[in-house]
Amino acid sequence: MKKHLFTLTLSSVLAIPAVSHAEFKGGFADIGIHYLDWTSRTTEKSSTKSHKDDFGYLELEGGANFSWGEMYGFFDWENFYNDRHDKPGSEQRYTFKNTNRIYLGDTGFNLYL
């Protein structure tokens, strides 16, 4: 019994790297400084609800393509030139997002996370 368990464990350990090998196919990364300039109409319409002001932001962004799927993500540091506790709508804010697409074999279907 111990011999079979050892053989099963050893074969599993040797098989995992072959199954989990992820070939890197390409990717990108960039850093940018942007300025979002809302129209005066948008600023007026949202003044009582969400208070949209123009703002600048520093963005870090990247993505990668592997044999098993794709990854994308970004991080934005909004109003980086203002104080952390400035007037409402003008204080520093942070935004981030990631998206993953996993290929489900050769079926043509994908799993999005």
- Can you tell me which residue has the tokens 């053989």? 7
Interatomic CA distance for residues 100 and 12, integer angstroms: 27
Closest CA relative to residue 23, chosen from 107, 103, 79: 103
Return the pLDDT at 67.
94
Looking at residue 44, its pLDDT comes to 80
Query: What pTM was computed for the model?
Result: 0.67
Q: Mean pLDDT throughout 3-27?
A: 64
Identify the residue whose tokens are 């079926």. Answer: 107
Name the residue with higher pLDDT: 90 or 66: 66
Q: Where are the domains of the chain?
A: 21-112
Residue 7 has pLDDT above 80, yes or no: no
d(CA 55, CA 85): 15
pLDDT tens digits along 47-86: 777 667 788 999 999 999 999 999 999 999 998 888 877 7
- For residues 43 and 50, what is the distance between their CA atoms, to the nearest angstrom? 9
